[in-house]
């Protein structure tokens, strides 16, 4: 079975056709439980997310701030396994028909086997993978497996990326380009970095891939601000925080996730 | 300048790493895009510095007149009575300013920091020795300094926390994960990503992304070059074995490297076996780990079947790390070096033995090498000649040692003593 890269491309093209940005939500698998995580992803889709990135929790999330670290810790303490992550992808996609990616660090995928992981992610209905600590120079084996299984390889670019590197990275990537809005780890910020618009402009000069902006976006106003210059808005910690704020009351947490997704979905339509 | 006053001695061979930072199958550069420019800048600046005589001159001067190099080579015959009669010599990195080998690398990278025009330095520390050395260099060069240290380690190495603060550094106690060295490195990387414009991450061991494994090795390479020359002068021959402790592996790489071409010199790395490798409570990465990626490079790591890093354990804060430098992984797989595991108890007994027979109190980290040297000496017999890197002094460990051996008068303070005895 081939992965759903085409579904991802269609979702982003659909948003562009509607003259709006896409809303991309992030949620770590296994948090607060495997089934609770699946419900949270469905709630994000219900609220208006176009695409979801499922986090594969890692013991050493060096690019994540305290909110996602906490969620990863909870998931790992509950014993989340890669099979649970793949089930999360499968059920979230099967229930909604929407594109679902995996976002994780390289070691779990490397250890599992790039080919095996790509095959099983495609089988689960996944659309692609984001591996932020796998630089383009080290990515050949993964990209070969991803391409063979119809999966997108989404690379992250940063404000510090020079133009010649942007060209090299976007030439190797597929699906979309993840533009980090600022220099830092995941987490909500009061304002989205002023560097983001410049990075999107420089990235677009190198590629026709959609350019989606993540890091720091937590509310509709910020989403609208980013939607004015980007093809997609990626929100992670703000969703996770809704569930952490309602710890022990999953229904209330899911309602808050749905509400945030709806707010953000309105935001990405206000460009 | 005579040969004996040259201390910046980068690897003249250059066979490894490759331009991409690989030592055979190990090494590389697994870092987020946000850090690529900064890491490339460090590599480029280091290459420039290597070709700049003024860099070597300034570093040589600091190492002679600030650190106090060359460090002594001390024969320890009373200690060696427990080593099967073999002769044992200690390379006295504990006598360097700040009390360990760490200052060699720190001064080199502090000069690089200044050349890059950066005004702030961050570093991780386990035992506190790298943190103290970094805080020292920052005081000397007028750089802002933040040190990340696991909460567990701030407690067991409280003296070094006080030293760092006395030197003007900010010490951040890290409460994520296992609250030890691994987590301090994670937090330092998070800081670096956010503040990379003005900040250099002064990495403390021969691990991390390229170029750190090669760069840190080069700054420590003086250890083995000096020891080799000193031992030849004193004994007329090379050692049968060069022994060092291995956490991340910087002092061991510094000792081993000059002996790589000497095929008859065994290179023996001593990893922390904690309560025993078979108990699961250890940090013996090369002995019990498998290849994987941690902190920017491929090497051996302690991990589960799905690539989650497992929590290490050692009585020694400086060795309590689930990774190891990629060049050690390379030396293991090529068979040029051998690695063995030393328990907490064997290390603590060696610490006490050296203290009582020679009047030298070693760091618990270095005591792992001493315990390994006792074993190697017994294996070699009376004709044997063993060189040990005494990488640090034990002042920082006196609270742990006093509790371990019940040395406090106050019975309450001694509670918990005798672990493993």
pLDDT digits 0-9 by tens, B227-266 = 999 999 999 999 999 999 999 999 999 999 999 999 999 9
Residue A156 to chain B, least CA–CA distance (Å): 7
Helices (H), B293-417: 326-334, 344-358, 364-380, 398-405
- CATH number assigned to the domain comprising residue B132: 3.40.50.1100
Residues of chain A in contact with residue B186, where contact means CB-CB under 8 angstroms, are: 60-62
B135 and B92 within one domain: no
**Does A58 sit within 8 Å of B193, measured CB to CB?**
no
User: Using CA atoms, how far apart are residues A115 and A190, in angstroms rounded to an integer?
Assistant: 40
B304 and B287 within one domain: yes
- Alpha carbon A106 to chain centroid distance? 15
B226 and B207 within one domain: no
Q: Residue A257: pLDDT above 70?
A: yes
Residues of chain B in contact with residue A73, where contact means CB-CB under 8 angstroms, are: 176
pLDDT digits 0-9 by tens, B152-162 = 999 989 999 99
B62 and B153 within one domain: yes
Provide the pLDDT for residue B413: 54
**Does B34 sit within 8 Å of A158, measured CB to CB?**
yes
H/E segment holding residue B217: helix B212-220
CB of B409 less than 8 A from some CB of A: no
User: What rounded mean pLDDT belongs to chain B?
Assistant: 95
For residue B415, tell me if it sits in a domain. no
Task: Tell me the domain boundaries of chain A.
Answer: 5-267
For residue B6, tell me if it sits in a domain. no
Catalytic residue among A18, A50, A60, A64: A64
B169 and B131 within one domain: yes
Provide the pLDDT for residue B411: 58
pLDDT digits 0-9 by tens, A206-230 = 999 999 999 999 999 999 999 999 9
pLDDT digits 0-9 by tens, A86-142 = 999 999 999 999 999 999 999 999 999 999 999 999 999 999 999 999 999 999 999
**Does A63 sit within 8 Å of B193, measured CB to CB?**
yes
**Does A81 sit within 8 Å of B308, measured CB to CB?**
no
Helices (H), chain A: 5-17, 34-47, 66-77, 82-96, 106-112, 114-123, 140-148, 163-172, 195-204, 220-227, 237-245, 250-267
For residue B420, tell me if it sits in a domain. no
For residue B4, tell me if it sits in a domain. no
Cβ neighbours of residue A34 under 8 Å, at least 6 residues apart?
Answer: A78, A80, A84, A87, A88
| Strand order, beta sheet including B290-294 | B22-23, B26-27, B297-301, B290-294
pLDDT digits 0-9 by tens, B205-219 = 999 999 999 999 999
Domain tally for chain B?
Answer: 2
Catalytic residue among A53, A72, A84, A231: A53
Give the residue from chain B lying closest to A193, CA to CA: B194
B352 and B230 within one domain: yes
pLDDT digits 0-9 by tens, A13-59 = 999 999 999 999 999 999 999 999 999 999 999 999 999 999 999 99
**CB contacts < 8 Å between A and B, how many?**
109
For residue B18, tell me if it sits in a domain. no
Provide the pLDDT for residue B177: 84
Among residues B177, B197, B216, the one where a domain terminates is: B216
CATH topology of domain A5-267: TIM Barrel (3.20.20)
B377 and B237 within one domain: yes
B240 and B297 within one domain: yes
Mean pLDDT for A235-244 is 97
Of residues B404, B385, B14, B406, the one with CA closest to residue B227: B385
Among residues B168, B183, B216, the one where a domain terminates is: B216
Mean pLDDT for B102-114 is 98
Cβ neighbours of residue B374 under 8 Å, at least 6 residues apart?
Answer: B82, B83, B350, B353
What is the DSSP track for A242-265?
A: HHHHTTT-HHHHHHHHHHHHHHHH
B212 and B320 within one domain: no
pLDDT digits 0-9 by tens, B57-98 = 999 999 999 999 999 999 999 999 999 999 999 999 999 999
Rounded to two decimals, the pTM is: 0.96
Among residues B216, B239, B272, the one where a domain terminates is: B216
B208 and B250 within one domain: no
CB of A112 less than 8 A from some CB of B: yes
Q: How many CA atoms lie within 13 A of B395 on its CB side?
A: 13
Of the residues B25, B176, B190, B197, the best mutation for testing chain A's interface (the one with the most A CB atoms within 10 Å of its CB) is: B190
For residue B164, tell me if it sits in a domain. yes
Q: Residue B336: pLDDT above 60?
A: yes
User: Using CA atoms, how far apart are residues B127 and B129, in angstroms rounded to an integer?
Assistant: 6
**Does A160 sit within 8 Å of B38, measured CB to CB?**
yes
- Alpha carbon A171 to chain centroid distance? 20
**Active-site residue flag, A53:** yes
B184 and B323 within one domain: no
Q: Residue B421: which pLDDT band, with cuts at 50, 70 and 90? A: very low
Q: Residue B5: which pLDDT band, with cuts at 50, 70 and 90? A: confident
> What residue numbers bound the domain in which B147 lies?
24-67+102-216
Q: Residue B417: which pLDDT band, with cuts at 50, 70 and 90? A: very low
Of residues A53, A104, A70, A108, the one with CA closest to residue A236: A53
Provide the pLDDT for residue A87: 98
Do the beta carbons of residue A200 and residue A31 sit within 8 Å?
Answer: no
User: Using CA atoms, how far apart are residues B38 and B196, in angstroms rounded to an integer?
Assistant: 7
B200 and B229 within one domain: no
Q: Residue B419: which pLDDT band, with cuts at 50, 70 and 90? A: very low
**Does A63 sit within 8 Å of B190, measured CB to CB?**
yes
Helix (H, G, I), strand (E, B), or coil: what is residue B70? coil
């Amino acid at each position: 079975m081939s992965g759903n890269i085409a579904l991802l491309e269609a979702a982003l093209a659909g948003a562009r056709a509607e003259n709006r940005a896409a809303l991309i939500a992030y949620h770590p698998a296994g948090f607060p439980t495997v089934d609770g995580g699946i419900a949270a992803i469905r709630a994000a889709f219900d609220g208006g997310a176009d695409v979801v990135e499922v986090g594969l929790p890692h013991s050493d999330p060096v690019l994540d701030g305290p909110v996602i670290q906490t969620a990863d810790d909870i998931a790992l303490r509950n014993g989340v396994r890669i099979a649970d992550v793949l089930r999360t992808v499968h059920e979230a996609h099967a229930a909604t028909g929407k594109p679902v990616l995996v976002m994780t660090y390289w070691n779990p995928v490397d250890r599992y086997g790039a080919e095996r992981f790509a095959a099983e992610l495609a089988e689960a209905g996944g659309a692609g993978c984001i591996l932020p600590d796998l630089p383009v120079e080290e990515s050949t084996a993964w990209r070969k497996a991803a391409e063979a299984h119809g999966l997108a390889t989404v690379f992250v670019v940063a404000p510090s990326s020079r133009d010649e590197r942007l060209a090299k990275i976007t030439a190797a990537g597929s699906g979309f380009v993840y533009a980090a809005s600022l220099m830092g780890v995941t987490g909500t910020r009061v304002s989205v970095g002023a560097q983001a618009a410049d990075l999107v402009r420089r990235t677009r000069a190198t590629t026709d891939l959609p350019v989606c902006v993540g890091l720091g976006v937590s509310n509709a106003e910020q989403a609208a601000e980013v939607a004015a210059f980007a093809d997609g808005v990626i929100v992670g910690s703000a969703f996770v925080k809704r569930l952490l704020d309602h710890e022990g009351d999953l229904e209330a947490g899911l309602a808050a996730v749905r509400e945030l997704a709806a707010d953000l979905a309105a935001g990405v339509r206000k460009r | 300048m005579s040969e004996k006053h040259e201390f910046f001695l980068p690897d003249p061979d250059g066979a490894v790493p490759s331009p991409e930072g690989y030592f055979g199958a190990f090494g590389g550069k697994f870092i987020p895009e946000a850090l690529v420019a900064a890491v490339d800048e460090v590599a480029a600046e280091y290459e420039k510095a290597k070709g700049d005589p003024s860099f070597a001159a300034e570093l040589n001067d600091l190492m002679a007149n600030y650190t106090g190099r060359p460090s002594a080579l001390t024969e320890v015959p009373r200690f060696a009575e427990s080593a099967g009669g073999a002769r044992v010599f200690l390379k006295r990195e504990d006598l360097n300013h700040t009390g360990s080998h760490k200052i060699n690398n720190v001064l080199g990278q502090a000069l690089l920091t200044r050349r890059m025009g950066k005004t702030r330095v961050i570093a991780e520390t386990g035992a506190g020795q790298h943190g103290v050395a970094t805080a020292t260099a920052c005081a000397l060069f007028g750089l802002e300094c933040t040190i990340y240290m696991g909460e567990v380690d701030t407690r067991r190495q409280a003296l070094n926390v006080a030293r760092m603060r006395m030197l003007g550094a900010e010490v951040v106690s890290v409460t994520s994960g296992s609250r030890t060295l691994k987590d301090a490195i994670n937090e330092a990387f998070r800081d670096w990503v956010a503040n990379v414009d003005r900040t250099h991450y002064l990495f403390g061991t021969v691990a991390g992304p390229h170029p750190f494994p090669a760069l840190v090795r080069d700054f420590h390479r003086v250890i083995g070059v000096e020891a080799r020359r000193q031992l030849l002068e004193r004994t007329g021959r090379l050692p049968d074995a060069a022994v060092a402790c291995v956490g991340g592996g910087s002092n061991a790489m510094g000792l081993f490297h000059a002996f790589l071409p000497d095929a008859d010199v065994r290179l023996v790395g001593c990893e922390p076996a904690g309560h025993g490798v078979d108990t699961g409570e250890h940090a013996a990465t090369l002995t019990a780990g498998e290849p994987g990626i941690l902190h920017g490079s491929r090497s051996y790591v302690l991990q589960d079947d799905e690539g989650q890093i497992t929590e290490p354990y050692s009585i020694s804060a400086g060795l309590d790390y689930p990774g190891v430098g990629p060049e050690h992984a390379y030396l293991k797989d090529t068979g040029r070096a051998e690695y063995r595991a030393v328990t907490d108890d064997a290390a603590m007994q060696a610490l006490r033995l050296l203290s009582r027979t020679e009047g030298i109190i070693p760091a618990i980290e270095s005591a792992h090498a001493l315990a390994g040297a006792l074993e190697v000496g017994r294996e070699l017999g009376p004709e044997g000649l063993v060189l040990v890197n005494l990488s640090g002094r034990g002042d920082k460990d006196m609270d742990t040692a006093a509790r371990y051996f019940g040395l406090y008068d106050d019975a309450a303070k001694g509670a918990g003593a005798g672990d493993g005895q």
